[in-house]
């Protein structure tokens, strides 16, 4: 499939255009409130990439785009289906690798290809309109490197681009190591006139130095972009100035690493290879995003997940307790996969993955011990351990400390957002 993506992801509204290299870009609609997974949302699709090292992406979820025709942007890579370019690392990640090589005599639009990479998509396996679409990734860096997590309308094959619509959840160009971009493209606002904004890490931090969560919360009348739970921009139909809102039908997801192109430019003597995009997970939730400021999590015998004695110190036990509406029982589900009370995170003690590991409150630190997925079966799963939040010994007495345990589908592992 030939990509509809175009160069120059610039902020644009009417005739406005702001240079993509600028830092601290002003949003069209500032949205400082942190988005959350709400009680009305359920996890409907996900890939945690827990397969053995060297294995290819799950073919029931991901398919490949192949070729080296430039992809509408004069890119220089040839996309392959080789595990040299996309494979699990055996440590819970899928890795997309861009390499400076041509092992099979691939031909690109400019002659013999100089680079290989991979582009994965869900066009034939999963599409959805509305909800939260998020991925936790560690992106590559370097001049001419262009990682992206994005979506296209499922009618692309029928109506073409940009009528199908495009939502760029995250794009980065290597010469901007601290900034990512979120953009939409549609009829009358595509290519260089795409409408978007950027998010810049503070203090000169680089996205390539760690994992970050990139998400959009999409409803019939808005799309909100966030990084690590920090919403930085919201788009509504009113922002299109009368142009058509085409974000009203199912879209499919794409993730890739391009090499070169009219927007990022091309690799130079400073660019090192191979370059890797490491993906910890991709998750999709149903329904609209945002709106919840916290609420109770109700479990066994109608009792609530509770911070013992309303303590806020690191290590305070998290327990089962009669629901009482206090702040110790107000939990918010955040876009970075954390569940929080008192501004701290639900945490598995010492990052343990064994049955019986206790659960506590701890300063949020981005580790796997603080990642949780509320499934459609009402399990609250810690993906790092692949275990469920569990009421110890089925004991519904007040002050029973909670733990993680192998998921069994039992009532002492069922949790409902109030």
Q: Concatenated DSSP letters for 196-209?
A: EEEEE-GGG--GGG
Q: What is the C-alpha to C-alpha distance for residues 149 and 120, in angstroms, rounded to an integer?
A: 10
Average pLDDT over residues 355-375: 93
pLDDT for res 220: 87
Distances (CA, A) of 91 to 280, 281, 384: 9, 12, 10
CA 259 – CA 173 distance, rounded (Å): 10
Give the residue with greater pLDDT, 325 vs 7: 325
- In angstroms, the CA 125 to CA 314 distance is 42
What is the C-alpha R_g of the chain? Answer: 22
pLDDT for 221 beyond 90: no
d(CA 126, CA 128): 7
Catalytic annotation, residues: 166, 171
Closest listed residue to residue 254, CA positions, set 276, 282, 235: 282
> In this structure, are strands 387-391 and 400-406 parallel, antiparallel, or unpaired?
antiparallel
More confident position, 313 or 179: 179
pLDDT reading at 408 higher than 50: yes
Set out the domains of the chain in order of their start, with CATH numbers. Answer: 36-285 (2.60.120.200), 297-417 (2.80.10.50)
* 328 confidence band (pLDDT: 50, 70, 90): confident
């Amino acid at each position: 499939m030939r990509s509809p993506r175009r160069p120059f992801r610039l902020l644009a509204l009417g005739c406005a255009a702001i240079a993509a290299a600028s830092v601290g870009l002003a949003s069209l609609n500032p949205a400082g409130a942190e988005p959350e997974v709400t009680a009305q949302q359920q996890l409907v699709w996900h890939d945690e990439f827990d397969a053995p090292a060297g294995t290819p992406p799950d073919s029931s979820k991901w398919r490949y785009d192949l070729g080296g025709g430039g992809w509408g942007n004069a890119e220089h890579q040839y996309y392959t289906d080789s595990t040299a370019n996309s494979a699990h690392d055996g440590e819970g990640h899928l890795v997309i690798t861009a390499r400076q090589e041509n092992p099979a005599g691939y031909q690109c639009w400019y002659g013999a290809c100089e680079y290989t990479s991979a582009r994965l998509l869900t066009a034939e396996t999963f599409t959805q309109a509305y909800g939260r679409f998020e991925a936790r990734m560690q992106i590559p860096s370097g001049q001419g490197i262009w990682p992206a997590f994005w979506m296209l309308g499922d009618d692309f094959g029928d109506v073409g681009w940009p009528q199908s619509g495009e939502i760029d959840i995250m794009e980065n160009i290597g010469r901007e190591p601290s900034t990512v971009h979120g953009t939409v493209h549609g009829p009358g606002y595509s290519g260089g006139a795409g409408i978007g904004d950027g998010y810049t890490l503070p203090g000169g931090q680089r996205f390539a130095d760690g994992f970050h969560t990139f998400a959009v919360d999409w409803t019939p009348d808005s799309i909100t972009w966030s990084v690590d739970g920090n919403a930085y921009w919201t788009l509504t139909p009113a922002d299109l100035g009368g142009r058509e809102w085409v974000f009203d039908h199912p879209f499919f997801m794409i993730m890739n690493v391009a090499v070169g192109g009219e927007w990022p430019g091309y690799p130079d003597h400073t660019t090192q290879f191979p370059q890797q995009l490491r993906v910890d997970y991709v998750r999709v939730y149903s329904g609209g995003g945002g709106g919840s400021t916290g609420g109770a999590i109700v479990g066994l015998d109608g009792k609530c997940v509770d911070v013992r004695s309303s303590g806020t110190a690191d290590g305070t036990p998290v327990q089962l307790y009669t629901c009482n509406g206090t702040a110790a029982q107000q939990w918010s589900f955040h876009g970075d996969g954390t569940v929080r009370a008192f501004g701290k995170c639900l945490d598995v003690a010492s990052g343990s993955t064994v049955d019986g590991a206790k659960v506590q409150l701890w300063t949020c630190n981005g580790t796997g011990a603080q990642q949780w997925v509320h499934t459609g079966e009402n399990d609250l799963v810690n993906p790092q351990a692949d275990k469920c939040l569990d009421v110890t010994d089925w004991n519904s007495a007040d002050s029973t400390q909670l733990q993680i345990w192998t998921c069994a589908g039992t009532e002492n592992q069922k949790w409902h957002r109030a």
